[in-house]
Structure 1
Amino acid sequence: MPPATTLPRFDLKGWDRKDIAHPYPVYRRYRETAPVHRGAPRTGEPDTFYVFSYDEVARVLSSRRFGRDARVASAGAAAVSGPVPAEYRALRTMVENWLVFMDPPRHTELRSLLGTGFSPPVVAGLRPRITRIARELLERLARHRETDLVDGFAAPFPLLVVSELLGLPQEHHPWLRATAVALQEAGTTRSRSGGGPARAEAAARDLARYFRREIRRRGGDDGGDLLSFLVRARDRGASLTVDGIVGTGVHLLTAGHETTTNLLTKTVLALRAHPRILAELRGTPALLPGAVEEFLRYDPPVQAVTRWAYEDIRIGGYEVPRGSRVVALLGSANRDPARFPDPDALDLRRPADRNLGFGLGVHYCLGATLARAEAEIGLRALLDGLPGLDRGGQRVDYADDMVFHGPTRLVLDLSDRPRPSPSP
């Protein structure tokens, strides 16, 4: 049996603002009591187990005894739905075609097909374009004495990159971001006042129509973008449907920008809280690749992922029945002292030791190489382009979301930075 505890049952919903902004003391209290906690039972829902320690989280993510399909876990029980309730038809169709919700062999086939577009050589070729996008955004940002870093840089930057990768027109980018954010309200822990699932369903319908138009535009062409590549692969016999291409395009759009947005904004917050580290990083660009790994460990942009038990299994002292939901807390695992010495310290020279910021196992983030490049280039641009990044006040608003974790606004007062010299 697991050790006795007086802590309340853990849940990812209903956190106060202070704990949302800094969840690590909460994680530590639970992790130190036991690596696994059972959630409060809810009528008509499967048992939920929350996993906090590095070793147990790594085990859940890497073992084929856990998967992404609740219906497989429950042996097809009629009462169990897929990742989205059946009444949200457009959203359900879309999400069921997301790589993250697939198991092998379907997952293996699609990941292999997409892997070419995210390979290190392809990403290396994209770096000049990513740099150009970052510099253009920073030029606009630097004109203001007060700026919202999320709205002005961290959100549009990865969206522009992934949109360019998919071949989507630049003038559509503001609409794409707003619609992608609405879509994600269905799949996270955001506790906004009602209507979230309905907004997500409407967003799914809008995005499906949009991507279907884009797919039709690519019929028979030889464009170099990823969406054109998927259309050609389908036409040459790959097991892709229109719904599959739509779902993949939307998944790359949403997963490809929200996580990098969160990583960049939380990295800036960490650097502002550690000005000596900011100065060191600014003066030693060679530290950037390792620094990105440490920021991923220190405050990952995705805090939790869900798996389903495909068979009866014992985890951390609990007997977990087949069909149970298992939530792996990546943020807690990355602060586990059993894996990372002095885990609450930000140490840019910490040896790269497989943090779980991008997951593990067959669902390790497909776009990790691209996200690392975006983080390196975006952070370098901010350090070079905003000399007052470590000065002035700030206002931060976090999303009520313990899955996709990060600020919705980060307003920086840069009024005391050096003023640019007038043009000759």
Structure 2
Amino acid sequence: MERLTRRLGVRDAVVIGLGSMLGAGVFVVFAPATATAGGAGLLVALAIAGFVAFCNATSSARLAARYPESGGTYVYGRERLGPFAGFLAGWGFVVGKTASCAAMALTIGAYLWPGQARLVAAAAVVAVTAVNLRGIGKTATATKILVGVVLAVLTLVAAAGLLGGGFAPDRIGGPGGPGGFGVHGVLAAAGLLFFAFAGYARIATLGEEVRDPGLTIPRAVPLALGVVLAIYLVLAVVALGVLGPDRLAASAAPLVDVVTAAGLPGLAWVVRAGATVAVTGVLLSLLAGVGRTLLAMARRRDVPPGLAAVHPAHRVPHRAELAVAAVVILVVSVGDVRGAIGFSSATVLVYYAIANASALTLGRDRARRLPVQLLAALGLVGCVVLAVSLPLTSVLAGFGVLALGGAWYVLRH
């Protein structure tokens, strides 16, 4: 079996994790989450989503250190729970993250050229795939540049919102939003916001390309997640303080509206450019991660084995990445952003539920200070609760596709 090359250290892995997360939450899901949970509910939902993501990250890091190969929870589920659990995790990841890729590509199109969003989206997928096919070293280098630009733009937005004169702390805690402040609304918003945190798994799915995975992955995953959670909390507070819950809930581009409301409309184009860069970074790492999971599934013949090929020069799963890119281009020709987000959240939460269940079988880890078994149990319960709390159409679509995949697996075996 052909192996990938281990090239990534802690810094590279953290950057890829940041590139996978920054963009989706800040530029896409704050508005619908506020509409679902209200103003104060947004912050509560963000904390819940961050905590569930931390539980998942702890479990994923333990499992990735034990099984340092491409595939993430697809591998962990197979090894700890059995082939069917592994297949269901891999299937959920591939279909859910393919939908995420389509959502990100469509967002790029909407920001760059709204009149030809689908055409731009397809072109973005082609360009990003070309970078990934050059090797994981090129992916990490490109992601570093993108993350630097995005952090600069987000810092600009936060400074404009806080110093521009439009920030009012009393707006932050208001109920606002058509969803009000209810338990179900907060859980549904947390499920949507989880979409913004799921990128840290990219570090685990690249496990076969990480140097010293037993040390690198457990350090990189919580570091990336902690940085992103802090950024999301700051920007959520700024957006609520400047716009208020009602205006934020109705906003199509919240961070653009923040700088405009702060009296700096000339910065709107900078924020739009930053959004495009951010989402491109997400798409870059996302396509790489889906391709690696497809590679792992092909190696075990859960998908056509021809997709297991590794390029002899660049050492990347080129056939798997090309296959994913082709499906994403097909989806962007017919899909929409919000539907893709809900569908992705439902399937990916199931993926992480299987990761936590797998981690529970590892037993206690006396070398760790954290109560890892308790975190795995809380992560499992949290994933299930958030998944079933999503909008009904997302739940039906996500669970329906998972059921179809499971039925196909059972019939094939």
Same fold (TM over 0.5): no
Kindly name which structure, 1 or 2, has the bigger radius of gyration based on alpha carbons: 1
Q: Which structure would you say has the larger RCO, counting Cα contacts within 8 Å and 6 or more residues apart?
A: 2
Q: TM-score normalized by structure 1?
A: 0.29
Q: Which has the higher strand share?
A: 1
Q: TM-score normalized by structure 2?
A: 0.29
